[in-house]
């Protein structure tokens, strides 16, 4: 059994009878009314308040992932809202559980790849970008942050995010690196693969010093906001019932090949 | 089996090969980089962009609920992060599941109570505020939005939120109503009961036209942001192990009274 | 802050270096290999081992609720398995979250109603059954355990469960009471309403002394077993993708009436 | 967008007005009252009814994992039951989310390792067992199914499960293989490492033809049963509040080193 380290503490927050302290700041007197949700999210994970351009970049990333229509997340949340109507947090949490490796989880792995390339370049490997592209091609593995089922040939969100980063002076290192990787990937594969929004967000978040380990969690927060809209609409339209009926029709029961 | 209504649609969002549309707006060209996460959250639920003061009120409400130290939500998220370290969304979603009727869920019921009082006043019941306070006292039921285990005699967040609402010209109707209810509750019970932050937030969100049905979901989004900080800290401190050990010590096994 | 009661203990279980104790029994030497999962489930909640007929009744109830085809639970689990393929517990847990008040949750409320009727009869109200039926009709509320969207005019599972209870000598009190309630409901409404399987299970579980507070949890355990089959099939068929596509087609995006 | 394959079907189950069909069988007339929950769980995943000894082995495995005292799963479920008391399925599902790679998830990987060793032996590698042990030692990776924080030097559940498998004539292939691996691991490391219960269960489930892909899900079902007991106890003892207080005491807030 693990025993408690004598110095185990939390630096995140505490509440007392007359105050709430958040990472050394007084929530009531220093934070409420003075900072936005987005600034606080940055503060809680990077332990300093963001500069104005950093906030704009983070807001752009959060806004980008809030909505993408009837994603599996949204479909799950709608079905759950129909089954457990009294508890909105159950519908939202269920939808968020689906933000895994398949959907939206690639922000983190794209950012990690960019950092790895940067280290290889720093170690003297001048062709690291091209080499990485060829390595993925050889291994027949998808490059994290590349490819999209719907957005072809390009993900319009990526184009906008890159332009915004440039406009804000935040395309100094990882945005150009991801762009270079995109060209190398196209060359290695002999065809154009889109840089998807989650990949682009990985680069933008690196530009503003967000830790890689926070990135998937940021996608989760962003999508939590989006799911609220689905939840309110579900209360009016009861789409969950129609989706359920469609699912049964789409996957009919068969007695054939019952072993 | 419910059949699909011919006119069932979503007005929330859709993605096509070259665009994402969100409630009639073009995500890429009209929203990314132009609006904050908080403004988008308002837009997705109230179907119009908020005015600047409304955004400030909503940000204040979201910031207030992000952090409250080691709440049950945060403890659950930390234990889960220790058990399923590869999937941050599982830890966040688990913590959010705890945002139910006991914690943070009272925003909604406090707001609903304020609306009910307003209706009774509109119907000619001049003493509706006092009557409601007495009704709860008689039924020995807690008034939603009142009382707090830690913050006594007053919840400092409430004081700050009310002051901010006044400063922003958004204490016109529901903030004064909740204050009046607070006085009536104290009078009915013969002792002072604090108006807690979730109650105050109920009043502030009504002031900026947030639908009651969105309020618990807003608390969920706010707390999702706060849990990200706990998650990152957990990766460094592994507090989950120590909390687990403490739980076992706190609740020892006994063979007595085994029926 | 609540402080720990000095006598707070768990009587459920503990593990030590050389043993695991479960409610006063030695798991390794007394339980493994000697009792079935179903007997243990009874033991953990009723604190005695069931008699053979009680086990048969409980097994029948658990088997009844395991499968009902593509329920919302199963649809959610399939979508989740597609989104988070590495973590089967996430898909199962998501499906189980949907076992709420709308689906399967009525076992508990039907059992509670039967106990309430029994108390009214014991208090001298000879027509309690008929009165209850009329009260629900008057209030235009559905009687818990009655009505089914698919199984009409009768739920075949109910007929089988009642017959089995009789065969096993376990239709002595609550099964006849539920049958009587069924007749009274039909009379009060002037048309036949089916007693659904969750209602019947409420009566059978009362016959074998299962606490009402365990009943919804038993449905959850039963359905957990059923979801395993959906999960394995999902790995082969990837029905989640087709269900997602069907959902998008069923709920198309519309820009009309965007307020 | 993925389109539906024309032959997409479910072979699991369907319900019609008068019947429920489960993998080609009539639930009402063929299954309810005739088979146990454990037999049905086997049937739903292996698509044939188990023989009597297979059922005994599966029951032993399920009973083994139901309870292990205040595991993180149980602690999470108790905290959640305290936060969302109206929805038992939320507490159970939350606890189950923690059945991941760290706890109980190793059944699957131990079984997969045994199958890999068997294939290497079949391919002519006579020392495959010893080689695998050395490979893990060299890579300094823990062998799946080996080691336990509490049960030292041996996991008493493993000893019992192996003995039972022998008694039932179901220690013909994978149980002896796991035992041989245990000896090889001890030799390679130069010290004794226990074979834990989840490892042993991997071997026993292989002996009765359970697919590897179902194994973690079986642990989830087993633990679902165990959590019901914790839930009922929580309603009486409210241990969640004391665990929460202990967590706050264990992880105090510090303002030091706030970057």
What's the mean pLDDT when you consider all of chain B?
A: 95
Burial class from Cβ neighbours inside 10 Å (0-12, 13-18, 19+) for residue C121 reads: middle
Q: Which residue of C has its CA nearest to D36?
A: C59
Quick: pLDDT tens for A201-249.
Answer: 999 999 999 999 999 999 999 999 999 999 999 999 999 999 999 999 9
Instruction: Determine the Cα–Cα distance for residues B99 and B73; give it in Å rounded to an integer.
Output: 7
Model confidence at B82: pLDDT above 70? yes
pLDDT band at D256 (very low <50, low <70, confident <90, very high): confident
The verdict on a CB contact (< 8 Å) between B10 and A231 is no
Instruction: Determine the Cα–Cα distance for residues A94 and C73; give it in Å rounded to an integer.
Output: 12
Query: Average pLDDT of A111-119?
Result: 98
In contact, B243 and D242? CB cutoff 8 Å: no
Q: How many CB pairs under 8 A join A and B?
A: 302
Chain A partners within 8 Å of B151 (Cβ): 15, 17-18
Domain-wise residue ranges, chain A: 12-49, 106-213
Q: What is the pLDDT of residue C103?
A: 74
Instruction: Determine the Cα–Cα distance for residues D89 and C218; give it in Å rounded to an integer.
Output: 10
Instruction: Determine the Cα–Cα distance for residues D62 and D72; give it in Å rounded to an integer.
Output: 19
Quick: pLDDT tens for A47-99.
Answer: 999 999 999 999 999 999 999 999 999 999 999 999 999 899 999 999 999 99
Model confidence at B202: pLDDT above 60? yes
Q: Find which of D5, D6, D9, D151 to mutate to test the A interface (most A CBs within 10 Å of its CB).
A: D9
* Nearest CB neighbour to D255, from listed A8, A24, A255: A24
Quick: pLDDT tens for A168-195.
Answer: 999 999 999 999 999 999 999 999 999 9
Quick: pLDDT tens for A18-28.
Answer: 999 999 999 99
The verdict on a CB contact (< 8 Å) between C68 and D20 is yes
- Smallest CA–CA distance, residue A143 to chain C, in Å, is 18
Quick: pLDDT tens for D185-199.
Answer: 999 999 999 999 999
Q: Which residue of D has its CA nearest to A257?
A: D11
Query: Average pLDDT of C218-227?
Result: 97
Chain C partners within 8 Å of A80 (Cβ): 72, 76, 97-98
Domain covering D51-248 in this structure, CATH number: 1.10.230.10
Model confidence at B1: pLDDT above 80? no
pLDDT band at D6 (very low <50, low <70, confident <90, very high): low
- Smallest CA–CA distance, residue B30 to chain D, in Å, is 25
Q: Which residue of B has its CA nearest to C71?
A: B1
* Tokens 């989950």 -> residue: B240
Neighbours of chain B (3+ CB pairs under 8 A): A, C, D
Query: Average pLDDT of C158-180?
Result: 98
Instruction: Determine the Cα–Cα distance for residues C144 and C136; give it in Å rounded to an integer.
Output: 10
End-to-end Cα separation, chain C, in angstroms: 46
Chain C partners within 8 Å of D92 (Cβ): 96, 217, 220-221
C-alpha to C-alpha distances, C90 to B13, D99, D169, nearest whole angstrom: 27, 9, 35
Q: What is the pLDDT of residue D233?
A: 97
The verdict on a CB contact (< 8 Å) between C246 and A246 is yes
The verdict on a CB contact (< 8 Å) between C84 and B86 is no
What's the mean pLDDT when you consider all of chain D?
A: 94
Instruction: Determine the Cα–Cα distance for residues D134 and C130; give it in Å rounded to an integer.
Output: 75
Model confidence at C105: pLDDT above 80? no
Query: Average pLDDT of C245-253?
Result: 96
The verdict on a CB contact (< 8 Å) between D97 and B80 is yes
- Helix/strand/coil for B21: strand
Percent of chain D exceeding pLDDT 90 equals 90
Model confidence at B48: pLDDT above 50? yes
Q: Which helix (H) or strand (E) holds D15?
A: strand D13-15
The verdict on a CB contact (< 8 Å) between A253 and D1 is no
Strand partners for D146: D195
Model confidence at C45: pLDDT above 90? yes
Query: Average pLDDT of D48-59?
Result: 98
Model confidence at B112: pLDDT above 90? yes
Neighbours of chain D (3+ CB pairs under 8 A): A, B, C
pTM of the model: 0.95
List the one residue out of D109, D74, D24 whose CA is nearest residue D233.
Answer: D74
Instruction: Determine the Cα–Cα distance for residues D113 and D118; give it in Å rounded to an integer.
Output: 9
Model confidence at C3: pLDDT above 60? no
Q: D149 or C219, which is more confident?
A: C219
Q: DSSP for B22-82?
A: ETTEEIIIIITTTS-HHHHHHHHHHSSPPPHHHHHHHHHHHHHHH--SS-HHHHHHHHHHH
Q: How many CB pairs under 8 A join B and D?
A: 120
- Contact residues for C141 (Cβ-Cβ < 8 A; gap 6+): none
Q: A200 or A2, which is more confident?
A: A200
Neighbours of chain A (3+ CB pairs under 8 A): B, C, D
Q: What is the pLDDT of residue D2?
A: 45
pLDDT band at A100 (very low <50, low <70, confident <90, very high): confident
Helix H, strand E, coil C: the string for C74-129 is: HHHHHHHHHHCCCCHHHHHHHHHHCCCCCCCCHHHHHHHHHHHHHHHHHCCCCCHH
What's the mean pLDDT when you consider all of chain A?
A: 95
Model confidence at D86: pLDDT above 70? yes
Chain B partners within 8 Å of C150 (Cβ): 1
Q: What is the pLDDT of residue A259?
A: 64
Correct CATH for A106-213 of 1.10.230.10, 1.10.3720.10, 3.40.630.30, 3.30.70.580: 1.10.230.10
- Smallest CA–CA distance, residue B237 to chain D, in Å, is 10
Instruction: Determine the Cα–Cα distance for residues B153 and B106; give it in Å rounded to an integer.
Output: 19
Q: What are phi and psi of B253, to 5 degrees?
A: -80, 140
Model confidence at C1: pLDDT above 50? no
Model confidence at B116: pLDDT above 90? yes
Angle, in degrees to the nearest 10, between helices D128-138 and D106-122? 130
Strands B25-26 and C13-15: unpaired
Model confidence at A2: pLDDT above 70? no
Q: Find which of B46, B160, B220 to mutate to test the A interface (most A CBs within 10 Å of its CB).
A: B220
Instruction: Determine the Cα–Cα distance for residues C195 and C42; give it in Å rounded to an integer.
Output: 25
Query: Average pLDDT of C203-221?
Result: 97
Quick: pLDDT tens for D171-188.
Answer: 999 999 999 999 999 999
Model confidence at C120: pLDDT above 80? yes
The verdict on a CB contact (< 8 Å) between D79 and B97 is no
Query: Strand ranges (DSSP E) for chain B?
Result: 13-15, 20-22, 25-26
Q: In this predicted complex, what is the ipTM? A: 0.96
pLDDT band at D1 (very low <50, low <70, confident <90, very high): very low
Q: What is the pLDDT of residue C6?
A: 56
pLDDT band at D7 (very low <50, low <70, confident <90, very high): confident
Q: What residues of C are in the B interface, CB distance below 8 Å?
A: 1-2, 4, 8-14, 21, 23-24, 47-48, 84, 86-87, 90, 97, 149-150, 250-259
Return the percent helix, strand and coil in chain D, to nearest 5.
60, 5, 35
Chain C partners within 8 Å of A102 (Cβ): 82-85
In CATH terms, the fold of domain C53-244 is Cytochrome p450-Terp; domain 2 (1.10.230)
């Amino acid at each position: 059994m693990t025993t408690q380290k004598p110095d185990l503490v939390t630096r995140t927050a505490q509440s007392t009878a007359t105050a709430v302290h958040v990472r050394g700041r007084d929530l009531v007197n220093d934070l409420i009314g003075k900072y936005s949700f987005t600034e606080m999210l940055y503060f809680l994970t990077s332990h300093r308040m963001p500069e104005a351009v950093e906030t704009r970049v983070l807001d752009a990333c959060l806004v980008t992932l809030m909505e993408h229509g009837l994603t599996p997340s949204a479909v799950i949340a709608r079905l759950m809202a129909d089954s457990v109507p009294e508890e909105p947090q159950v519908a939202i949490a269920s939808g968020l559980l689906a933000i895994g490796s398949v959907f939206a989880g690639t922000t983190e792995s794209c950012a990690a790849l960019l950092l790895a390339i940067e280290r290889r370049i720093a170690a003297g490997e001048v062709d690291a970008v091209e080499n990485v592209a060829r390595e993925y091609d050889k291994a027949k593995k998808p490059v994290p942050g590349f490819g999209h089922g719907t957005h072809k040939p390009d993900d319009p969100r990526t184009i906008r995010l890159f332009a915004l980063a440039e406009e804000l002076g935040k395309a100094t290192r990882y945005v150009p690196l991801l762009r270079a990787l995109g060209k190398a990937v196209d060359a290695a594969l002999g065809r154009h693969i889109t840089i998807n929004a989650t990949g682009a967000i990985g680069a933008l978040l690196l530009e503003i010093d967000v830790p890689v380990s926070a990135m998937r969690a940021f996608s989760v927060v962003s999508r939590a906001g989006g799911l609220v809209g689905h939840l309110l609409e579900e209360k009016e339209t009861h789409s969950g019932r129609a989706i359920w009926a469609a699912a049964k029709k789409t996957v009919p029961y068969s007695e054939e090949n019952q072993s």
